[in-house]
Amino acid sequence: MTAIDDRMTGIFENLEVPEGVKAELIRGEIVMMAGPDMVHNLIVLAIQHQVPYGRWRALTTQDLTIPGEASEPQPDLVVFERGAVEEHGRLLPSPVVTLVVEVVSRTSVDRDYRTKREMYAEGMIPAYLIVDPIKEVCVLLTELSQASGSGVPGYMSERTSKFGEAVPLDLLGISLDTTEFQRYA
């Protein structure tokens, strides 16, 4: 990271965010968004309730730290194995995360499909699930590649399922039921 990145991280850590607003540090930029739609929240809740509690932690509003990135994203849902880290502090290191979930909003399409896809792969997160209530699909990205010719890791497998179809989350040992997922009004 550069001095500018360190300065932005300092500003971000001391930022007072108004109630009902979400803020993330994405590649050195502070991104602020209005609170999510109820459809968004109900999708996150439905996924969270399907993650086996005995083995996994499934947290919302958990900030991540990605090695080598001037970023502290806050995925809609973060899943990691119990006992993988000491469970305190604001930042969860991305290498201990098994799955991140982002529910697309009208203002986050490019960020969720492109920027965060790259960031989460660089953070070595084995699975990234994009839930898109605009297109009514779930996109599961898995099978991290080692740095390719570009020197950047990426996801080699991409599986798209329509709302209502099960999404196999093999790393968690479950098949995600999406029948309750709704489209934005």
Q: What is the pLDDT of residues 136-178, one digit of tens each?
A: 999 999 999 976 556 678 999 999 999 999 999 999 999 999 9
Determine contact, residues 24/111, Cβ cutoff 8 Å: no
**11 belongs to a structural domain:** no
Which two structure tokens, joined as six digits, stand for 10?
A: 């300092």
Q: Estimate to the nearest angstrom the gap between the alpha carbon of 25 and the chain centroid.
A: 13
Q: What is the pLDDT of residues 89-137, one digit of tens each?
A: 889 999 999 999 999 999 899 999 999 999 999 999 999 999 999 999 9
Determine contact, residues 127/168, Cβ cutoff 8 Å: no
**96 belongs to a structural domain:** yes
d(CA 97, CA 80): 5
**49 belongs to a structural domain:** yes
d(CA 9, CA 176): 35
**48 belongs to a structural domain:** yes
Radius of gyration of the chain (CA): 16
**9 belongs to a structural domain:** no
Q: How far is CA 133 from CA 9, 73, 117, 164, 175, in A?
A: 31, 21, 18, 12, 19
**8 belongs to a structural domain:** no
Residues of the domain holding 113: 36-176
**75 belongs to a structural domain:** yes
**185 belongs to a structural domain:** no
User: What pTM was computed for the model?
Assistant: 0.85
Question: Could you tell me the CATH number of the domain that includes residue 171?
Answer: 3.90.1570.10
Q: Count of domains in the chain?
A: 1
